[in-house]
């Protein structure tokens, strides 16, 4: 068994297309996986949007909706613009509600209007209801296609119901037991059903200790529950405790990737965007990056003020300037190590804002170890490399001691600030990821300089 060579297949598909071998194209596509077809359509889209719309219409009806759901929004728009209203209605009806909602949130308003007009009234109502859930909430990522059972049913009846309605459900492996008023009462897996006798009553095998989410829960909490409890789906209930949808594990995997990307982007001072990098325009990338760059550049006014304040000292001891980049770099790196560790631990639920004192105490001890080891190496390095090897006669033992002592304090300050700020952010409801290297570096830059010049003043008497 060999993994399939998709590049070869894509090439073949392009040849069929160029030679108008429509029948072969249709047959080959029908054999392919939804994801691979959507990858092919994405490639085609970049070359020729019209042909892409045409190829989409060759797909067998059963897989067309799944392929559609896998496409990027711009590609979906191309297809929507190339089909008739009747065809559009068919696509919308076949889509899972969560996929339809994802798409609606990003399509331009006039296209949304046309899609909504072509959907049938019940679908339209469902989409509208979902669109009301806050972004990134459990409600916004759930789907309505689940299997519900009643507690008085027996296993045979339940399996029959699964066979009857299971075809188009997002998962059939976890079934939810609801009351007449749709309140969630328990959960039963297909494994439970298969391992039980046909006549067993659901009430006797269902698990009433259900892990569930509320529609308003943040999607990050939902992913945490999946990772803690090894779920393949989680039921979502509304304020009244009624079951309104489920979130399945495949959607959670996408959410996890998206959340990790967002955290990483925020930590690098980039405004997160939903589009992949390769599809984001130069102008949009600029828009996502310039705010932090601008803010950080302007806040460096403070470091400039400190430098100007100590101008005379600098003019008298120009050798001091040579070590400023190293001190600021070491401070920034120490601080961002601490903030990164804390931000990630907060987001994985390993530490809570209430652990703040413990975390600071730990970071201070780490900082003492790091600071002293860096200072020792630096002291030796300045005397051996800078003084002897590079013949810099301005580097004296006093200068080396000044710089090395500064390192100890700078690292301690950086680690303390780096670990505290993300926790404070979490406490006041700001995303801790914002308190990452760029901001921490800017703060430690200014303070490093103040520490440096004050120690220098004492040691070098100016």
Residue 264 interacting with a second copy (CB under 8 A)? yes
Residue 390 interacting with a second copy (CB under 8 A)? yes
- Alpha-carbon distance of 199 to 438, in angstroms, equals 64
* Per-residue tokens: 432: 């801790």
Which of 30, 125, 384, 385 forms a contact with a second copy (CB under 8 A)? 385
- Alpha-carbon distance of 238 to 75, in angstroms, equals 34
Which of 245, 437, 451, 452 forms a contact with a second copy (CB under 8 A)? 437
Q: Which of residues 169-228 bind a second copy (CB under 8 A)?
A: 172-173, 183-185, 190-191, 194-195, 209-212, 223, 226-228
Residue 429 interacting with a second copy (CB under 8 A)? no
Single out the segment in contact with a second copy by CB under 8 A; choices: 8-16, 73-81, 103-111, 244-252.
244-252
* Residue 4 C-beta: closest distance to a second copy, Å: 8
* Residue 305 C-beta: closest distance to a second copy, Å: 7
Cβ count near 448 (within 10 Å): 28
Which of 442, 443, 447, 453 forms a contact with a second copy (CB under 8 A)? 442
Residue 97 interacting with a second copy (CB under 8 A)? no
Which of 68, 176, 323, 413 forms a contact with a second copy (CB under 8 A)? 323
Residue 71 interacting with a second copy (CB under 8 A)? no
Which of 53, 139, 245, 269 forms a contact with a second copy (CB under 8 A)? 269
Which of 11, 46, 47, 350 forms a contact with a second copy (CB under 8 A)? 350
* Residue 94 C-beta: closest distance to a second copy, Å: 16
Q: Which of residues 328-347 bind a second copy (CB under 8 A)?
A: 328-330, 332-334, 336-337, 339-342, 344-345
Residue 432 interacting with a second copy (CB under 8 A)? no
Q: Which is nearer to a second copy, 200 or 392 (CB)?
A: 392
Q: Which is nearer to a second copy, 365 or 427 (CB)?
A: 365
Q: Which of residues 22-61 bind a second copy (CB under 8 A)?
A: 31, 33, 35
Q: Which is nearer to a second copy, 109 or 318 (CB)?
A: 318
Q: Which is nearer to a second copy, 48 or 207 (CB)?
A: 207
Which of 125, 315, 384, 430 forms a contact with a second copy (CB under 8 A)? 315
Q: Which is nearer to a second copy, 154 or 303 (CB)?
A: 303
Asked if residue 264 lies in contact with residue 280, where contact means CB atoms within 8 angstroms, the answer is: no
* Residue 200 C-beta: closest distance to a second copy, Å: 13
Residue 357 interacting with a second copy (CB under 8 A)? no
Q: For 245, what's the count of Cα atoms within 13 Å in the CB-facing half-sphere?
A: 23
Q: Which of residues 112-171 bind a second copy (CB under 8 A)?
A: 159, 162-163, 166-167
Single out the segment in contact with a second copy by CB under 8 A; choices: 41-49, 80-88, 434-442, 453-461.
434-442
Q: Which residues pair with 437 in a beta bridge?
A: none
* Residue 53 C-beta: closest distance to a second copy, Å: 23
* Residue 436 C-beta: closest distance to a second copy, Å: 8
* Per-residue tokens: 14: 């392009």
Residue 376 interacting with a second copy (CB under 8 A)? no
Asked if residue 385 lies in contact with residue 444, where contact means CB atoms within 8 angstroms, the answer is: no
Which of 84, 86, 122, 278 forms a contact with a second copy (CB under 8 A)? 278
């Amino acid at each position: 068994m060999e993994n399939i060579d998709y590049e070869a297949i894509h090439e073949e598909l392009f040849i069929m297309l160029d030679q108008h071998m429509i029948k072969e194209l249709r047959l080959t596509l029908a054999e392919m996986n939804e994801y691979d077809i959507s990858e092919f359509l994405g490639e085609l889209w970049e070359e020729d949007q019209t042909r892409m719309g045409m190829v989409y219409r060759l797909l067998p009806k059963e897989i067309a909706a799944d392929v559609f759901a896998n496409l990027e929004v711009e590609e979906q728009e191309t297809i929507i613009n190339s089909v008739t209203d009747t065809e559009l209605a068919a696509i919308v009806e076949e889509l899972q509600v969560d996929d339809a909602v994802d798409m609606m949130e990003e399509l331009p308003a006039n296209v949304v209007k046309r899609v909504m007009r072509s959907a049938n009234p019940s679908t339209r109502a469902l989409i509208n209801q979902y669109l009301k859930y806050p972004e990134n909430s459990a409600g916004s990522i759930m789907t309505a296609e689940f299997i519900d059972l009643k507690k008085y049913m027996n296993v045979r009846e339940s399996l029959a119901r699964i066979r009857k309605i299971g075809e188009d459900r997002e998962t059939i492996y976890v079934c939810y037991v609801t009351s007449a008023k749709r309140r969630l009462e328990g959960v039963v897996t297909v494994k439970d059903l298969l391992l039980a006798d046909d006549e067993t009553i659901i009430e006797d095998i269902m698990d009433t200790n259900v892990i569930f989410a509320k529609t308003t829960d943040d999607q990050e909490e939902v992913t945490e529950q999946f990772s803690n409890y090894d779920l393949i789906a989680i039921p979502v209930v509304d304020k009244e405790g009624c079951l309104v949808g489920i979130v399945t594990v495949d959607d959670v995997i996408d959410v996890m990737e998206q959340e990790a990307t967002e955290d990483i982007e925020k930590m690098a001072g980039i405004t997160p965007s939903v589009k992949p990098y390769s599809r984001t325009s130069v102008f949009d990338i600029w828009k996502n990056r310039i705010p932090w760059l601008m803010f950080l550049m302007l806040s460096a006014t403070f470091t400039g003020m400190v430098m100007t304040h100590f101008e005379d000292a600098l003019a008298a001891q120009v050798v001091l300037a040579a070590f400023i980049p190293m001190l600021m770099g070491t401070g920034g790196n120490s601080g961002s190590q601490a903030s990164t560790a804390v931000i990630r631990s907060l987001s994985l639920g390993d530490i809570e804002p209430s652990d703040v004192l413990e975390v600071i105490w730990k970071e201070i001890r780490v900082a003492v170890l790091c600071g002293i080891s860096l200072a020792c190496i630096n002291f030796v390095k300045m005397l051996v490399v800078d003084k002897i090897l590079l013949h810099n006669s301005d580097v004296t033992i006093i200068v080396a001691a000044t710089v090395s002592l500064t390192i100890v304090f700078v690292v301690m300050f950086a680690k303390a600030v780096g670990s505290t700020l993300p926790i404070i952010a979490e406490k006041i409801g700001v995303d801790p990821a914002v308190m990452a290297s760029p901001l921490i570096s800017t703060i430690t830059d200014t303070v490093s300089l103040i520490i440096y010049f004050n120690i220098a003043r004492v040691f070098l008497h100016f």
